[in-house]
Copies of this chain bind each other. A is one copy, B any other.
């Protein structure tokens, strides 16, 4: 799968350079360009689209000298530019978040943010894209089911910085994640139990959480007598 072309829109040169550098550090993303204000951004996107290499994702600062981020988003839609938008802002106003969602903002980053936060947001966006490109592994088909779409939305809206639900510990979750990352194939809850020395209940609880978050996919394993066993597979956002 080819890289996702990213445009950085940011008026402060230092911040713009930082964001551009962040994009460069990520696998699967390519920096298409940077723009210091709204007019330049729109012109750049139009040019890229005309050249046949449209921008697919815009890191859009909401506070720009000439236009507000929401105006830019609106004009993009009016001009037929359908790039997805990740909003970046220092203005922590919730009503802006509401309007941003209505104009097709898929994620919202609040300055200042660390590279880890930035990386999480873009990784979840990439996972969303991948899941729409290739529905449920092994069950290729022309259409998608409701659960396929739900799954894709889930990975788009489920950043890893959410407070963990009751009953889950961060350290244990990390152990399970690390173990799953190393597995090439699918593993069952029992195998995780044996490998990590934890109880079956605990292993299953964390795997289930990861499945809901979209980090791992869950499929059933048939063929043997007894209730079908769930097997979990790490979903690679494509390396």
Given A150-B161, A154-B162, A157-B153, answer yes or no on A145-B132 (Cβ-Cβ < 8 Å).
no
- Which of chain B's residues have a CB closer than 8 A to the CB of A181? 141, 143
Given A220-B169, A222-B198, answer yes or no on A146-B94 (Cβ-Cβ < 8 Å).
no
Q: Mask for A101-144, Cβ within 8 A of B = 1, else 0?
A: 11111111110010001000000000001001101100101111
Given A102-B84, A103-B82, answer yes or no on A160-B132 (Cβ-Cβ < 8 Å).
no
Nearest-Cβ distance from residue A79 to partner chain B, whole angstroms:
10
Whether the Cβ atoms of B92 and A177 lie closer than 8 Å is no
Whether the Cβ atoms of B94 and A145 lie closer than 8 Å is no
Whether the Cβ atoms of A149 and B103 lie closer than 8 Å is no
Given A77-B103, A104-B101, A132-B98, answer yes or no on A146-B169 (Cβ-Cβ < 8 Å).
no
* A80–B77 CA distance with the chains assembled, in angstroms: 11
**Other-chain contact of A92, B104, B107, B143 (Cβ < 8 Å):** B143
